[in-house]
Amino acid sequence: MVHMEIQRPIFNRLRREMAEPQILVLTGPRQVGKTTLLRALERAGGDAGRRTRFFDLEQPSDLAGLRGDAQDLIDTLVADADDLFIDEFYYLAGAGQLFKAIYDRARAKNRKIKIVASGSSSVEIHSHLGESLAGRTMTYRIYPLSWEELSQWDSPARPDYTDFLRYGGLPGLATVADEERKQRLLQEYLSAYLFKDIKGLIKEENIRAFNHLLQLLAQNQGQLVEASSLARELRVSAPTIERYLSMMDQTYVNFLLPSYHTNLANELKKSRKTYLYDLGVRNSILGDFRDPSRREDRGAIFESAVFLTIRPLLTPNMQLRFWRTKSSHEVDFVVIRNRVPYPIEVKASLSEPKLPSGLAAFCRKYPKVTRTLTVSDRSFESRREGNAVHEFLPFSRVPEFIERIQREE
């Protein structure tokens, strides 16, 4: 397990949340570091002199410890703990009612007890927390390690960017040097996902269709998703495809990126693009871990890397979209902040600072655009044309562009 020697910006935000009264919930797919973050928060609380209790509900003894007499348990926890950590809390039936009772009892006794919980499925989280904790929770989604996080890791084991594109950012793989072992660990992860998270949500006979859909999404990473065409390919109904896509979203393994549009007649308005949440997981599904420079889908790999860089950096007043018109103009990504669009185009390589045709078309349609980004394998000097500053940055510097957007008025 990779501990907090890899500095994660989300950790500082979570530490600030520890001073707030709301129940803190960490969500995200399996093995992205939720338990590690909980343990780091526990250690930080202990170092500050706070009394902590940690329950890992995948451990039978810990689960049994929360299944005793409810009233005695609540009284004990309120009296003995300042910080209460519950990992994979959905294993506990009635977790929401227990959290609410602890929360309310502590407030009644003028006690400040912080509850921090984690879960790997929004379906389970909603069914356990539901409306009983409305207004009492603060939720953070945890992602795999980004290249920015890995690149700042001061360790001989730090992977290079090509390794990141091949094996992704699951923290458990960061210290694994042997490539075959990395590939086997990714296979084990996929098996655990299909048989732990998915098997309980769909019928046994449909696991094969679900698995085939994962394959198609991996093959079509960054492309438009149409439920009707996928349904024909898999010989199931379009509503079944939509249900499977919803399950993938609820278990945090796939993103459906909506299109950006206003009132222009020729813009695609209901289209979606698909991105699996980790490059290593995608490569495992495809069974292809070659160097991206030798692959036919290298454009999709680099585009996906940019998507996976941007997505965790978005603040509540930001959204991520793509743009495409019926006349085939397109922009890979549009970051929207306070309803202002910032278009981004990704090129696997670029020999000169030439504005891609999609960005030029977007700027013509939206002449008030103030900043664009072309991402490639190299950096060029920015230039201004009309209202817009056009930036040309390598993949590793995409976070800088997002930071500049966040500082703009």
In the predicted structure, residue 125 carries a pLDDT above the cut 90 = no
Q: What share of the chain is helix, strand, coil (3-state, %, to 5)?
A: 45, 20, 35
**Minimum mean pLDDT range among 89-98, 161-170, 274-283:** 89-98
Query: Is beta strand 318-324 parallel, antiparallel or unpaired with respect to 330-337?
Result: antiparallel
> Is there a common fold for 9-141 and 147-296?
no
Phi-psi region of 2 (alpha: psi -120 to 50; beta: other; left: phi over 0): beta
pLDDT digits (tens, 9 = 90+) for 241-270: 999 999 898 888 999 999 998 876 666 778
Topology given in CATH for the domain delimited by 314-407 = Trna Endonuclease; Chain: A, domain 1 (3.40.1350)
- 125, with CB counted inside 10 A (0-12, 13-18, 19+), is buried
Q: What is the DSSP letter of 313?
A: G
Q: Which residue has the tokens 């995409």?
A: 398
Beta bridge partners, 309, equal none
pLDDT digits (tens, 9 = 90+) for 281-331: 999 999 999 999 999 999 999 999 999 999 999 999 999 999 999 888 999
Topology given in CATH for the domain delimited by 9-141 = Rossmann fold (3.40.50)
In the predicted structure, residue 115 carries a pLDDT above the cut 50 = yes
CA distances to 44, 111, 117 from 79, in Å: 20, 9, 19
**Would you list the DSSP string of 161-198?**
HHHHHHH---GGGTT---HHHHHHHHHHHHHHIIIIII
Q: How many helices (H) and strands (E) does the chain have?
A: 16, 13
Q: Is 315 strand, coil or helix?
A: coil
Identify the band that residue 1 occupies on the pLDDT scale cut at 50, 70 and 90. Answer: very low
Percentage of residues of the chain with pLDDT beyond 90: 68
Query: Is beta strand 318-324 parallel, antiparallel or unpaired with respect to 114-119?
Result: unpaired
pLDDT digits (tens, 9 = 90+) for 32-59: 999 999 999 999 999 999 999 999 998 9
In the predicted structure, residue 130 carries a pLDDT above the cut 70 = no
Topology given in CATH for the domain delimited by 147-296 = Arc Repressor Mutant, subunit A (1.10.10)
Kindly list the domain boundaries of the chain, sorted by start residue.
9-141, 147-296, 314-407
In the predicted structure, residue 3 carries a pLDDT above the cut 50 = no
The model's pTM is 0.91
Distance of CA 333 to the CA centre of its chain: 16
In the predicted structure, residue 2 carries a pLDDT above the cut 50 = no
Nearest to 66, CA basis, from 46, 41, 45, 86 = 86
